[in-house]
Amino acid sequence: MTTRPLLFDSPFLLGFEHTRGLIERAAKAAAEGYPPYNVEAHEDGGVRITLAVAGFSPDQLEIQVEGNQLTVAGRRGDGSDAERAFLHRGIAARGFIRTFVLADGMVVSGALLEHGLLHVDLARPEPQRLIQRIPIRTAE
């Protein structure tokens, strides 16, 4: 029998079902091992994700954001290695899909492929502060 952590089941945390789903999705994505990657924090609050994608060309890579999920995919296409006879094959030649869950407000500011490394830069714009006054009605 497995028990779920009661982290978001507090009566004071209302509407966090979506957050629970994001945490579960992030835990699943963390179990993936290929390709290796780094995540760096920048002083301005931004983040850089660097993936080791040696052998992939820009047209074989795709970056997309849907909702709060960043997906980086690499697709191998032509099958040109099929006729080659490898004595040792230590360089991975398979496609991949790597996902990251983004905090609200984070945006992809750019991507750069250099020396077999794909850098994806994320920015965190300053959030707008919204104060809402709620009028109080009286029961008549």
Domain covering 34-123: architecture: Sandwich (2.60)
Most confident among 30-44, 61-75, 94-108 (mean pLDDT): 61-75
**Residues 66, 135 contacting (CB under 8 angstroms):** no
* Domain residue extents for the chain: 34-123
Q: Any idea which of 24-38, 86-100, 109-123 has the lowest mean pLDDT?
A: 24-38
Taking the CA atoms of 21, 27, 33 and 36 in sequence, report the sign of the dihedral they define. positive
pLDDT score of 52 more than 90? yes
Q: Is the pTM of this model over 0.95?
A: no
**Residues 99, 38 contacting (CB under 8 angstroms):** no
The rounded distance, in Å, linking the Cα atoms of 70 and 36 is: 16
Q: Which pLDDT value is given to residue 9? A: 64
- Beta strands in 9-140, from DSSP E residues, in sequence order: 37-41, 47-52, 61-66, 69-74, 96-101, 107-114, 117-123
Tokens at residue 108, please? 């992809």
